[in-house]
Amino acid sequence: MSSTLGTLFKVSTFGESHGKAVGAIVDGCPANLELSEADIQPQLTRRRPGQSDMTTPRDEADKVIILSGVENGKTLGTPIGLMVNNKDQRPGDYGEMSTIPRPSHADFTYQMKYGNRAASGGGRSSARETIGRVAAGAIAEKWLSEQFGTKITSWVSSVGNIDARDMTLENLTREQIDSNIIRCPDEAAAAKMIELVKATRDRKDSVGGILTCVAENIPIGLGEPIFDKFEAKLAQAMLSIPAMKGFEIGSGFAGARMFGSQHNDPFVQKDGRLGTTTNHSGGIQGGITNGEPIVFRIAFKPPATIGMAQETATFGGEGAVLEAKGRHDPCVVPRAIPIIETMTALVLMDFVQRQAFRKA
């Protein structure tokens, strides 16, 4: 296990899906940031399941408690302890899975690696693990917003084969994105996506999707080549989220099909600094931010736990049919949005803290 992220702004998380609590320690947060639970709760609430009939009905308040690091409404510069109690501690529903590992889930690999695993839910591999990250990232978001006006926005750009139109450079707000339950700001596409998710749910299947994320108002110079290039640490952060299968920055895979003369972003004077006229680079050149918006896309596979009957095998290798009991999320991408945004904030925050001392 390695549940700590960051070099100077360090986040360490804990918690299984059906244990007592989940949470995190945020170490390295600058002192004198005004902070209360109210600053952290909104992203946790956006992440919460049970917000629509499309997601798992596990309704938990997910109220965060600050255990340390804040006094008189301001951070002390000391570790910030964060905790969210689990209300749903009952095991159950998962009896059959004790002998049949779910295909494409972590049941098998956890059992092989640790010789033990949480008996119910996904334990540490559950999406519930992300609560600690989201709470920590909400703190980073607040600091970055105050310091640089940084704004991080993510939305659903595809569900299954339904794509939203390209809206990367439009001025999207979280309110706009949250205005429909699939969190896709292209209303026409959103309607089709919702329909697809419902049909998928009805036949006890699941479906994948793609998110886009844009971070604006980014200081120039973030990123630590060569191994900690900005996009490299961002990719690590994104691929550490459950169910992620792909990451692309700027032009991404499409960029691999272009010529240099098309792909290169020409420089131009812009708001008193050197900017670029296009942004195939996604805001990063040579592993270092160039001041343009950071733009990236990530791919989520369909959730592994489905109610449909699947032919598979037991841990012992015997043929078996698995039909997962209970209700499971047919599509996780809308709930993934606050996770993506806050993880982006964690990466940004750590790089800001790591900036080398500069002579005046």
Residues 140-159 that bind a copy of itself (CB under 8 A): 147, 158
CA neighbor of 293 nearest in space, from 141, 185, 151: 151
Burial of 85 (0-12, 13-18, 19+ CB in 10 A): middle
Which range touches a copy of itself (CB under 8 A), out of 43-51, 108-116, 172-180, 334-342?
108-116
Site string for a copy of itself, 283-322 (x = CB under 8 A): -xxxxxxx--------xxxxxxxx-x-xxxx-x-xxx---
> In whole angstroms, how close is the CB of 48 to a copy of itself at the nearest point?
19
Count of alpha carbons within 13 Å of 89, Cβ hemisphere only? 9
Is position 15 an interface residue for a copy of itself (rule: CB under 8 A)? yes
Other Cβ atoms within 10 Å of 56 Cβ, number = 18
Question: Strand, helix or coil at 274?
Answer: strand
CA–CA distance, 26 with 6 (Å, rounded to integer): 10
Interface residue with a copy of itself, options 38, 71, 90, 202 (CB under 8 A): 71
Interface residue with a copy of itself, options 93, 247, 325, 327 (CB under 8 A): 247
> In whole angstroms, how close is the CB of 16 to a copy of itself at the nearest point?
6
Interface residue with a copy of itself, options 34, 264, 323, 326 (CB under 8 A): 264
Question: Strand, helix or coil at 340?
Answer: helix
Which range touches a copy of itself (CB under 8 A), out of 23-31, 40-48, 51-59, 179-187?
23-31
Range 165-224, binding a copy of itself (CB under 8 A): 200, 205-210, 220-221, 223-224
Is position 268 an interface residue for a copy of itself (rule: CB under 8 A)? yes
If the CB atoms of residues 165 and 179 are measured against a copy of itself, the closer one turns out to be 165
Interface residue with a copy of itself, options 25, 35, 44, 213 (CB under 8 A): 25
Whether omega for the bond prior to residue 226 falls within 30 degrees of 0, making it cis, is yes
> In whole angstroms, how close is the CB of 223 to a copy of itself at the nearest point?
8
Burial of 211 (0-12, 13-18, 19+ CB in 10 A): buried
Is position 259 an interface residue for a copy of itself (rule: CB under 8 A)? yes
CA–CA distance, 244 with 113 (Å, rounded to integer): 20
Where b means 16+ CB within 10 Å and e means fewer, 235-257 reads bebbeebbbbeebbbbbeeeeee
Range 74-103, binding a copy of itself (CB under 8 A): 74-81, 83, 101-103
C-alpha distances out from residue 92 to 88, 98, 118, Å: 11, 11, 12
Other Cβ atoms within 10 Å of 149 Cβ, number = 10
> In whole angstroms, how close is the CB of 287 to a copy of itself at the nearest point?
7
If the CB atoms of residues 116 and 175 are measured against a copy of itself, the closer one turns out to be 116
Range 37-56, binding a copy of itself (CB under 8 A): none
